[in-house]
Amino acid sequence: MKHASRIMIPEKKGSIISICSAASAIGGLGSHAYTGSKHAVCGLTKNVAAELGKHGIRVNCVSPFVVVTGLVLAHFAEEQRKEEALAGFRAYVGRNANLKGVELTADDVANAVLFLASDEARYVSGENLLVDGGFANVKQL
Which of 15, 18, 21, 63 is catalytic? The answer is: 21
139 is an active site residue: no
| 34 noted as active-site residue | yes
Cα Dmax for the chain: 53
Q: Which of 15, 18, 24, 38 is catalytic?
A: 38
Please identify which of the residues 12, 34, 82, 92 carries the catalytic annotation.
34
Residue 63 is among the residues annotated as catalytic for this protein: no
Q: Which residues are the active-site residues?
A: 21, 34, 38
